[in-house]
Chains A and B, each alone.
Chain A
């Protein structure tokens, strides 16, 4: 058991590109769920649309990568409109089911073999990264030697990513203390009361769905950039569920909740993963193979994740930094 390695790799993951992606996705869910009370279970769909738009512009259309980013943001707004129109007037769980279904429609359609000439099927697309890589100011590996290091490219993705996270947090902070943000929070608490005050609840919900989708789009961009490729398997349903877990760990309806949640989530997930890999690997494993093989060990972190999500929701639904009074999660 090498605790130095476990700590080092966990830190690498907790501050690395993956944590950035989930922080951004969870910031989007925070607008949806934390502030407005909308159950969007299709955040992976928003991420996928944006990510593929970003990648398709240079690969399929031969246009600029940066134009692709703009198109990605526009398309997520369109997707939010498409999803919002049929569901925002319905009970909360309808939005949940329709968004999760929509995300799966998007994933199966883009990943289909029929469209593989355009979108590369299950293999996805690669070869778009040059414009982004060209801007990388770093060389060598960067970090605190002996504790945690990242490759120059990862560190460049992280720099861009954490700057985006910081900007997003400031935007959320400003928006949510504005009158507009107060309307969102009151929709979450009592929709009928807001309506009786003459506010157009439907329109506010739609705006929240779009705004949260835009943060999902940023997460989709980073997903494509950090691995220099994109594929349908990056956007499985579980991505959305993990993002919810991230949000709930940090605390919904808190500006920094998703950020703290993502760092803690990936620290624990990587730590558990490496711990069990070490406990079952090697010549004389800590846990004998008759009880747990190394394949089974890779599942342990998800077993703990599921258990953790349940316990968190039961015993501390406000997360670590949340305020229980602010967030009385319930449907009508």
Chain B
């Protein structure tokens, strides 16, 4: 067991170094890619309020650096063609149009942003004069009308699919981390944990709390505040997992509480934690201090932001680390044997409670890291984990509840599916299509893709 612990410590250390190095290099790389363009023609800061604003940006990309286009009238219409707002771009090339009503009123709606051709200066002609924005998140939406932009973006269905595939991979990696935690906890304790989403939210909130501490952390002139916040979220989530297990689940296991009863307890815990989070953090959507508006890299026709790349790489590294830990170390072997048969493992001399406790720490840390990284890519609110919970369930059940590889395979299928399905159906149905696939797979292969068949009834 001691060997196992040192290895975990080493992995954590390696992970920490990786995060710092990656984020450091990305910070250094960003200005060189955007060639200073972000300074003059940057996206405005998203505002933290209850209403949704549409941020329109018009940039002339033919110049190097890009120049903002001033004095262009932009009109926002709702789906029935009614004008709901107007704005004129300022010196920074952006116009902010506030949508009427609260964020909730506008959720699920789509708006058309049009620019008035008459108000454009001579010889500037954006590729498109109209874009449609679907409001799926309660955060501000930005729309760009590049002039003389790099060709190709959003053209053919192949390019679109490739772009969605990249986004799907990033999401899948995060989903896989959360699903792996859920699956490991289910495997060793039999608990279907409905409060797993709240572990994800905990990570996002913990990172935010660290991020909001006054002062910036710098190493060699590079601001690594967010990187430190993410690592802190990872560690704090692990501690939170230990608290969960030691404070609630272990006593319940000692009492011999049934798994169904524990499942309902976890629902209570989920409602409790979700409201505590809202009590502490409020209902608005938030963003971390850095990475809020970075210029995407153009790799061929595909756009990829540095933070997406970092998130995907960190996530991949973490998945590889955890799976090799489970596959090759004594601790991993012990975990798998407890998942297989706790009584027999106990008889073989494995300290079952200790393994379960470590699984809780690891599972919660993974979920928290997923939450922090998800918050980094798309912002977060107190419900981020709860909204993700069903997809996490879908991923684990699809792959086979309690199996390690199943959770990862399931997460990649669900993650890619949610993104790629937007090629065929409106974006608001992407969760629906993922959940439908779950039900169809259960019809054909009830034990999940990698699960062991076991007949009941």
Residues of A within 8 A of B (CB): 39, 85-94, 96-98, 100-102, 104-105, 108-109, 111-114, 116, 121-122, 191, 195, 201-202, 205, 238, 241, 244-245, 248, 295-296, 299-300, 302-303, 305-314, 317, 328-332
Contacts and interface: CB of A to CB of B under 8 A. Distances in A.
A302 B386 CA distance: 15
A101 B259 CA distance: 20
Most B CB contacts (10 A, CB to CB) among A112, A116, A314 go to A314
B456 interface: yes
Contacts of A238: 271
Prevailing SS type, chain B contact patch: helix
Contact of A191 (B79, B443, B457): B457
Contact of A241 (B261, B267, B390, B443): B267
A306 B439 CA distance: 29
B269 A306 contact: yes
Contacts of B163: none
B179 to A, nearest CB: 13
Contacts of A87: 442
B109 A90 contact: no
A288 to B, nearest CB: 15
20 contacts: A85-B443, A86-B439, A90-B442, A91-B454, A94-B397, A94-B446, A98-B438, A102-B439, A105-B436, A112-B428, A202-B457, A244-B264, A296-B279, A302-B275, A305-B272, A306-B272, A309-B265, A313-B261, A314-B261, A332-B456
B190 to A, nearest CB: 8
Contacts of B431: 104, 108
Contact of B432 (A93, A108, A306, A307): A108
A28 B15 CA distance: 50
Contact of B272 (A121, A295, A307): A307
Which of B134, B265, B394 has the most chain A CB atoms closer than 10 A to its own CB?
Answer: B265
A306 B273 contact: yes
A330 B263 CA distance: 10
Interface string B433-453: 001101100110010000000
Contacts of B258: 328-331
Interface in B206-262: 248, 252, 255, 257-261
B447 to A, nearest CB: 8
Interface centre among A92, A205, A295, A306 (most CB of B within 10 A): A306
Contacts of B426: 112-114
B121 interface: no
Contacts of A105: 432, 435-436
B110 interface: yes
A309 B261 contact: no
Of A111, A121, A248, A329, most buried by chain B (CB within 10 Å of CB) is: A329
A140 to B, nearest CB: 35
Contact of A303 (B107, B279, B446): B279
Which of A93, A104, A108, A112 counts the most chain B CB atoms within 10 A?
A93
A90 B394 contact: no
Contacts of B264: 244, 248, 309, 313
Contact of B108 (A121, A300, A329): A121
Contacts of B397: 94, 97
Nearest to B105: A122
Contacts of A312: 268
A308 B443 contact: no
Contacts of A39: 260, 263
Given A109-B432, A303-B272, A310-B265, A92 B260 contact: yes
Interface of B: 79, 104-105, 107-110, 134, 192, 248, 252, 255, 257-261, 263-265, 267-276, 278-279, 282, 390, 393-394, 397, 401, 426, 428-429, 431-432, 435-436, 438-439, 442-443, 446, 454-457
Quick one: which of A109, A205, A302 has the most chain B CB within 10 A? A302
B276 A303 contact: yes
List the 9 closest A-B pairs by CB distance, nearest first.
A306-B272, A309-B268, A330-B258, A306-B271, A310-B268, A302-B275, A86-B443, A101-B435, A89-B457
Contacts of B272: 303, 305-307, 310
B456 A89 contact: yes
B259 A330 contact: yes
A93 B267 CA distance: 13
A302 B261 contact: no
A248 B267 CA distance: 13
A90 B267 contact: no
B106 to A, nearest CB: 9
A39 B268 CA distance: 15
Contacts of B393: 97, 100-101
Contacts of B390: 100-101, 104
Given A299-B278, A303-B276, A98 B268 contact: no
Contacts of A329: 258, 260-261
A295 B282 CA distance: 9
A89 B258 CA distance: 20
A49 B387 CA distance: 22
B436 A122 contact: no
B457 A109 contact: no
A119 B278 CA distance: 31
A331 B189 CA distance: 13
Nearest to B276: A303
B271 A305 contact: yes
Nearest to B192: A93
Contact of A98 (B255, B439, B455): B439
A113 B426 CA distance: 9
The CB with the most chain A CB atoms within 10 A, among B110, B271, B273, is that of B271
A87 B397 CA distance: 12
A90 B446 contact: yes
Contact of A89 (B104, B274, B446): B446
B260 A306 contact: no
Nearest to A241: B267
A195 B436 CA distance: 31
A114 B426 CA distance: 8
Contact of A307 (B105, B268, B456, B457): B268
